[in-house]
Structure 1
Amino acid sequence: MTEMATGPAEVVAAEPHGGIGQRLNWLRAGVLGANDGIVSTAGIVIGVAGAAVSRNAIGLAGLAGLVAGALSMAAGEYVSVSTQRDTERALIAQEKHELATMPEAELEELVEIYREKGLSEPLARQVAEELTEHDVLAAHLDAELHLDEDDLTNPWSAAFASALSFTVGALLPLLMILLTPEAVRIPLTFVAVMIALMITGFVSARLGKAPALRAVLRNVIGGAAAMVITYVIGRFAGTL
């Protein structure tokens, strides 16, 4: 009986923390950041190229858009993740206070969580008591909040990753518009951006376990619309 009771307890205790989920979220955010860099910079350089200005002017506009976009993404991600980290720390502090002031109630809460997971009352209590003896705070953070005190989000790494992914994405249309012959620079850049958006749409869909075709079409249509609109605006502005 003891071996049978201990087995499920070990399985419950070994449930993964949020580390894998957080890494997938970072990867998904990186793909989306690259996608933003592709679309926004492509819109800028194609719009400026539509005004029939010099290659230097296109390059300066694209570079300015790349730098501004990367810094904006980094600042936004830093603020967002810092807020999330502050919230996580506040939740951990609250949990520590509750464990210090009402340990019995917290134990019963842990028992109820494992009962809701499908364990019987005796086994749920055994699991809760064994995890409490091992590391009471970690047990409650994992079961109640799905947090790991040693694996909180890092705003600096998030900001750097966001800026880097945006920059990588932005380099594609910028280099294409600058390195291709003037007569075909706009259509070649358009085609390269469409291919890149297909890839980022597919990758983001696979990471989110969503239908790939829908994500790819949404990505491509949105990017194409952005480039066409900015090209038309640039073309019109160039005639003024």
Structure 2
Amino acid sequence: MTETRDSARAHAHEPHHDSLGSRLNWLRAGVLGANDGIVSVAGIVVGVAGATTDHGAILMAGIAGLVAGALSMAGGEYVSVSTQRDTERAALRLEKHELKTMPEAEERELADIYEAKGLSRELAERVARELTQKDALAAHADAELGIDPDELTSPWQAAWASLAAFTVGAIIPLVAIALPPTSWRVWTCVIAVVVGLALTGYTSARLGNAGVRRALIRNVGVGALTMLITYYVGTLFGVTTG
């Protein structure tokens, strides 16, 4: 009896709903967007700092990178999700037409899908029949297309989420290099970026159930290499005076 209760409590915390997986995907995308903001703007401001000590020039370049990067991310996400949504809608329209014009064939096709997944033919036909009676389009969209007709991704929602995530990440290197005195700017930015990338790497690893150590090394390593290269490229095109 105790084992049954423990098992029930354990399963109660498991993610059984598709909506939870969708929320995790959004959160993971947000973390990666913030990561892009950190690396992109850090590369810009550190590169400019390698070329000049002019506070205004560094800040202006960082702000320009933040705005351009955020808008680029938002625009790219909007176009990508819009294309995906159009494709899903076209597939749903075709599925509606097939359900209307050949319902028996569609039900057999649904039964074939469940039989291929391991159900007996008799049970597969029963499942297909009952799901079709309840909501034929939802059943076929899920089994054949992997789509929920009631939860198509919004392009505007995706665009705003990308813009916000990139902006939040970009603010870290921008503030870190803008506030300290000249001699501390680059190192303060480097430290802030390393901490920010460590946090995004840790979070993305946990969300994806991946190895934390490898994610941290990869994330921080890419950011550090970006800043190192852009700083020395900056020094080739200007003179930094302390």
TM-score in same-fold range (> 0.5):
yes
Q: Note the 1:92-103 alignment, pairs <5 A.
A: 92-103=92-103
Deviation at 1:29, TM superposition (A): 1.2
Gaps of at least 5 residues in structure 2 are 1-14
Per-residue Cα deviation, 1:65-89 (whole angstroms, up to 9, x for no partner): 0000000000000000000000100
**Conserved in 2, the CA contact under 8 Å of 1:73 and 1:163?**
yes
**Conserved in 1, the CA contact under 8 Å of 2:50 and 2:239?**
no
TM-score (norm 1): 0.89
**Counterpart in 2 of 1:124?**
124
Q: Would you say 1:208 and 2:208 are equivalent positions?
A: yes
**Whole-angstrom distance in 2 between the partners of 1:16 and 1:157:** 24
Deviation at 1:97, TM superposition (A): 1.2
**Whole-angstrom distance in 2 between the partners of 1:17 and 1:113:** 21
Gaps of at least 5 residues in structure 1 are 1-14
**Counterpart in 2 of 1:107?**
107
Partner SS for 1:183? helix
**Whole-angstrom distance in 1 between the partners of 2:192 and 2:73:** 23
Q: State the identity as a percent.
A: 62
**Whole-angstrom distance in 2 between the partners of 1:108 and 1:146:** 18
**Counterpart in 1 of 2:65?**
65
Partner SS for 1:238? coil
**Whole-angstrom distance in 2 between the partners of 1:20 and 1:145:** 19
Q: 1:104 to 1:16 in 2, by over 3 A?
A: farther
**Counterpart in 1 of 2:81?**
81
RMSD between superposed Cα atoms in Å? 1.7
Deviation at 1:16, TM superposition (A): 6.3
**Conserved in 2, the CA contact under 8 Å of 1:17 and 1:142?**
no
Write the letter of the residue equivalent to 2:109.
Answer: E
Per-residue Cα deviation, 1:10-39 (whole angstroms, up to 9, x for no partner): xxxxx9674333322221111111011000
**Whole-angstrom distance in 1 between the partners of 2:213 and 2:155:** 33
State the aligned residue count.
Answer: 226
**Conserved in 2, the CA contact under 8 Å of 1:70 and 1:162?**
yes
